[in-house]
């Protein structure tokens, strides 16, 4: 294995040099990828920049081709074993790992977002010596890639976050989700599929409850309705799991291994009644995924008017000025100052994503095209050919990313709830629910 790791180190360096020395399309692709990734990150240190380059080696594309494919084409001298190793690296991913065990030549790591374990080794003795200060229980951010069926290698620099209590760990996982969305469940496609299925199910429940994929209410009314929808979904889940709803709260508390007082605290944090909280705690061992708590953002709870839009892939969006914009578009006031102002605000608003603009383009094509031509000072702007480029320019992905309404793996759900309870006990006078993890809006 030492020889194999040494060869992996040589190939990694050769691949890196090939990419960094490249010109033309490959160089442009690296520059574009780096700019996009670094713009999302609050860190700009050398570790972060090195990680971005290492990520490009495995994630980057030059048209329909990958850097590894280009490298293989340039190196016909590589053995079949070398080529297989390079192909294996395409399974590499960035993760937030806990050190579970220190081995004579490496580490056993657990990926916190999927709970999967990996035997991971540095590629040389010096790299291992540099990791000597790491302890069991520490959380590290790094990229790993497979060497063979049982062993992985550190493919990028690592950053230690130290040993984290549950609240800080939950925050770290939430930050990881924001910065590395495509790697959230990259080593567990089965969890990713369940998460996407939950988004579609929530959309189905939304339509059944509201009678449409679009509803406009005051922030107060919408908040109450969303709570009702959440309660219905929770009860349906409990019914499907065969949870006995006739048991007393004391009986449920005993079966859940907690006290009625602790249940009351858990229920307040979860935003549900104590009996439902007890039933959910009883159910913990039977679920693979747990639903998230969907709430209006705090700044919208007292809004005079909020429009909720739902989609089976984009999830749910809450927009305070959507009806005003549609009204102006209906009236064909393409050059009205109010319309231009709203268009500029919505282009800058991340909640007004690609799905919403496509919806407007379908419903009001002529009006929207005219107002964009005027607002952007682009008289030749055409929705059909130019809208996607406009969305990209404003940082709006044209493909959906996993929405906040997606269910999360049960171990993460439990971590987030435990973290909330710990924070609440530390700040007993605070009524506001602190935001940890990535299940709350």
Q: Are residues 202 and 292 in the same domain?
A: yes
**Cα-based distances in Å from 76 to 27, 61, 88, 364:** 22, 21, 18, 55
Alpha-carbon span 197 to 60, nearest angstrom: 28
Q: pTM of the full predicted structure? A: 0.83
Instruction: Select from 90, 107, 131 the last residue of a domain.
Output: 90
How confident is the model over 266-289, as a mean pLDDT? 57
Give the 3-state DSSP-derived string for 286-328, with helices as H, strands as E and coil as C. HCCEECCCCCCCHHHCCCCCEEEEEECCCEEEEECCHHHHHHH
pLDDT tens-digit readout, 157-202: 999 999 999 999 999 999 999 889 889 999 999 999 999 999 999 9
What integer pLDDT is reported at residue 440 of this predicted model? 45
How many distinct structural domains can be found in the chain? 4
Radius of gyration of the chain (CA): 25
Q: Give the other-Cβ count within 10 Å of 243's Cβ.
A: 18
Q: Which residue has the higher pLDDT, 271 or 291?
A: 291
Alpha-carbon span 47 to 142, nearest angstrom: 10
Length of the chain: 441
Given a cut of 70, is residue 247 above it in pLDDT? no
Q: Are residues 14 and 82 in the same domain?
A: yes
Domain assignment present for residue 433? The answer is no
Place of tokens 């294995």: 1
What integer pLDDT is reported at residue 86 of this predicted model? 96
pLDDT tens-digit readout, 317-336: 999 989 988 988 887 654 56
Structure-token pair, residue 11:
């190939």
What integer pLDDT is reported at residue 341 of this predicted model? 82
Q: Are residues 353 and 277 in the same domain?
A: no
Domain assignment present for residue 440? The answer is no
Structure-token pair, residue 436:
């940890």
Up-side HSE of residue 379: CA atoms within 13 Å toward CB? 0
Reported confidence tier of residue 433, pLDDT bands at 50, 70, 90 = low
What integer pLDDT is reported at residue 183 of this predicted model? 94
Instruction: Select from 60, 90, 120 the last residue of a domain.
Output: 90
DSSP labels for 124-171? SHHHHHTTTT--TT-EEEEEEEESSSSEEEE-S--EEEES--HHHHHH
What integer pLDDT is reported at residue 3 of this predicted model? 87
How confident is the model over 251-267, as a mean pLDDT? 62
Given a cut of 70, is residue 272 above it in pLDDT? no
Quote the mean pLDDT of the chain: 86
Domain assignment present for residue 431? The answer is no
What integer pLDDT is reported at residue 421 of this predicted model? 81
In percent, the amount of the chain with pLDDT more than 70 equals 82
Domain assignment present for residue 267? The answer is yes
What integer pLDDT is reported at residue 307 of this predicted model? 96
- Do 198 and 313 contact (CB within 8 A), yes or no? no
Q: Which residue has the higher pLDDT, 420 or 303?
A: 303
How confident is the model over 197-209, as a mean pLDDT? 95
How confident is the model over 18-36, as a mean pLDDT? 93
What integer pLDDT is reported at residue 353 of this predicted model? 94
pLDDT tens-digit readout, 374-385: 889 999 999 999
Q: Are residues 200 and 154 in the same domain?
A: no
What integer pLDDT is reported at residue 414 of this predicted model? 85
- Residues of the domain holding 154: 92-180
- Do 316 and 403 contact (CB within 8 A), yes or no? yes
Up-side HSE of residue 313: CA atoms within 13 Å toward CB? 8
Domain assignment present for residue 350? The answer is yes
Go through 162-171 and write b for each residue having 16 or more CB atoms within 10 A of its CB, e for each that does not: eebebbebbb
């Amino acid at each position: 294995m030492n020889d194999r790791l040494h060869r992996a180190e040589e190939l990694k360096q050769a691949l890196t040099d090939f990419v960094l020395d490249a010109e033309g399309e490959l160089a442009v692709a690296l520059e574009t990828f780096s700019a996009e990734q670094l713009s999302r990150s609050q860190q700009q240190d050398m570790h972060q920049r090195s990680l971005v380059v290492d990520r490009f080696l495995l994630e980057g594309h030059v048209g329909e081709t990958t850097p590894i494919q280009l490298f293989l084409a340039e190196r016909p001298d590589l053995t079949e074993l070398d080529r297989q190793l390079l192909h294996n690296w395409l399974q590499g991913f960035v993760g937030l790992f806990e050190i579970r065990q220190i081995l004579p030549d490496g580490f056993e790591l657990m990926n916190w977002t999927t709970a999967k374990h990996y035997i991971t080794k540095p590629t040389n003795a010096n790299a291992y010596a540099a990791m000597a200060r790491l302890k069991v229980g520490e959380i590290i951010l790094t990229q790993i890639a497979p060497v063979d069926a049982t062993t992985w290698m550190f493919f990028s620099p690592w950053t230690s976050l130290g040993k984290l209590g549950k609240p800080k760990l939950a925050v770290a996982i939430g930050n990881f989700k924001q910065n590395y969305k495509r790697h959230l469940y990259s080593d567990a496609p089965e969890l990713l599929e369940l998460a996407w299925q939950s988004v579609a199910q929530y959309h189905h429940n939304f339509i059944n409850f509201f009678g449409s994929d679009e509803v406009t209410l005051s922030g107060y009314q919408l908040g109450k309705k969303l709570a009702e929808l959440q309660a219905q979904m929770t009860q349906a889940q409990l019914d499907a799991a065969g949870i006995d709803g006739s048991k007393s709260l004391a009986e449920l508390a005993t079966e859940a291994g907690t006290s009625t007082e602790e249940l009351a605290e858990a229920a307040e944090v979860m935003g549900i009644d104590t009996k439902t909280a007890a039933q959910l705690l009883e159910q913990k061992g039977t679920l693979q995924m747990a639903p998230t708590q969907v709430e209006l953002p705090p700044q919208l709870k007292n809004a005079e008017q909020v429009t909720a839009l739902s989609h089976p892939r984009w999830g749910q969006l809450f927009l305070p000025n959507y009806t005003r914009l549609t009204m102006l578009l209906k009236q064909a006031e393409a050059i009205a100052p109010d319309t231009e102002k709203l268009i500029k605000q919505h282009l800058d608003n991340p909640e007004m994503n690609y799905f919403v603009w496509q919806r407007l383009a379908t419903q009001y094509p002529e009006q929207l095209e005219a107002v964009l031509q005027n607002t952007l000072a682009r008289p030749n702007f055409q929705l059909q050919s130019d809208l996607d480029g406009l969305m990209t320019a404003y940082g709006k992905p044209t493909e959906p990313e996993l929405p906040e309404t997606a269910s999360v793996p049960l171990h993460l759900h439990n971590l987030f709830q435990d973290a909330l309870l710990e924070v609440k006990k530390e700040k007993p006078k605070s009524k506001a629910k602190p935001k940890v993890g990535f299940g709350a809006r």
